[in-house]
Chain A
């Protein structure tokens, strides 16, 4: 029997993947028999953390770091040199820009890109919002459906890193709103909603609620939301991110058309 498995690496970690290739029908039974005679064929191959793709070959990390440090120094020098050129009037204009409520998608996009990259590279974590809600909802979920395997095996309740990240989002958005003078309590969207849906708060709450339910279910199916899958997955160039975005538009474009069919604005 040993001869039949010559050359195969010890598949003790995952029989369903390694054994099922040749023994599809009774993988479990065969795996047990194999385990009984599998002698020390050497240590099992090291398994990389399941969620990570190992980093690219760092050909010469020291050289990279030296050049990067030089680049950073030059950037600082450039900043100091150019700063002298900026007059005081221009500097107060810059501050006024911060208080300006005009949206700045490109600048904000640069910031978000750096934030996501920092999170992924130094914290090893994606910026992912829907997962945090899955974890939080597991508290009432487990209480309501105590017999469900989902809450014991797949989604255990927890206050994760992502949950804390959410608290940060609240604070950050509040800070930016305050700066722009836009932080205020309100029930309805500022534009476009009332001409289409009227002034009823109840209707807005109902539609807001249903939309959020759909969004969270969709994120569960896809494996993430715009932040967790599209952006955090997109920056590592995972196909999943772009498939998700394609799906978003495939679902969203007809939906928006249906809601606004025959209306000009």
Chain B
């Protein structure tokens, strides 16, 4: 019960932050791929830095029993990302923003988006045995992080990561143009 309550609460904050960031708009998503509106990147990169520091702090403070890490399978990650990007740049949303837009009352998200995600999941279920053995066999690294991969201290790696993010954000602020 408490588990479900946490899921609902965290989801609510997630949905709130998505809307607050302005990501429930077709134009704002598509324009990041047109290199015209970097709001999405500013939002995501900030979340990454803050989140990474908070996760490492939580781990060091002893609150974490294990850190869920996605497996790095290089070809699958990139190919999946490319297919994902094609869809996102076309329709102007991703799974999270589809649900957030539904919360905003957008019927294209309710009817087109939610059904598309469910159908897409079924389509993937059909494709999976045929495409995944090949796609998932190239560049398999496993459940690693940059810290475990390099063997360096996690905080040091985090510091470098934070520096890179701040650099990118500064460049974005200087070069990027905002339309919506």
Contacts and interface: CB of A to CB of B under 8 A. Distances in A.
Interface of A: 48-56, 58, 61, 64-65, 68, 102-127, 129-130, 133-134, 136-138, 140-141, 144-145, 148-151, 154-155, 161-162, 164-177, 180, 182-193, 201, 204-241, 243-253, 255-257, 259-260, 265
B128 A109 contact: no
A255 B13 CA distance: 31
A72 B53 CA distance: 16
Given A115-B17, A167-B8, A122 B58 contact: yes
A169 B87 contact: no
B61 A61 contact: yes
Interface string B41-54: 01111111111111
**In the complex, which range does the number of interface residues on chain B fall in?**
35 or more
Given A109-B43, A192-B26, A223-B80, 14 more contacts: A113-B52, A164-B11, A173-B104, A191-B27, A192-B27, A215-B120, A218-B87, A222-B79, A222-B80, A226-B84, A234-B51, A243-B72, A248-B88, A255-B85
A258 to B, nearest CB: 9
B55 to A, nearest CB: 5
A247 B90 contact: no
Interface of B: 3-4, 6-28, 30-35, 39-40, 42-74, 76-96, 98-109, 111-129, 131-132, 135, 141, 143-149, 154, 157-158, 161, 179-180
B69 to A, nearest CB: 5
B85 A247 contact: yes
A213 B123 CA distance: 8
B87 A243 contact: no
A238 B144 contact: yes
Given A49-B66, A185-B107, A150 B83 contact: no
Contact of B48 (A54, A225, A231): A231
Nearest to B165: A234
Contact of A177 (B46, B103, B144): B103
Nearest to B141: A239
Contact of B21 (A105, A127, A248): A105
B136 to A, nearest CB: 9
Contacts of B28: 103
Contact of B122 (A106, A140, A256): A140
A239 B123 contact: no
Contacts of B42: 105-106, 109
A238 B46 contact: no
Given A51-B69, A112-B43, A141-B122, A191 B77 contact: no
Contacts of A176: 15-16, 19-20
Contacts of A259: 30, 89-90
Nearest to A220: B124
A169 B44 CA distance: 17
B80 A137 contact: no
Nearest to B169: A106
Contacts of A106: 42-43, 46
Contact of B82 (A118, A170, A250): A250
Contacts of B40: 105
Contacts of B101: 173
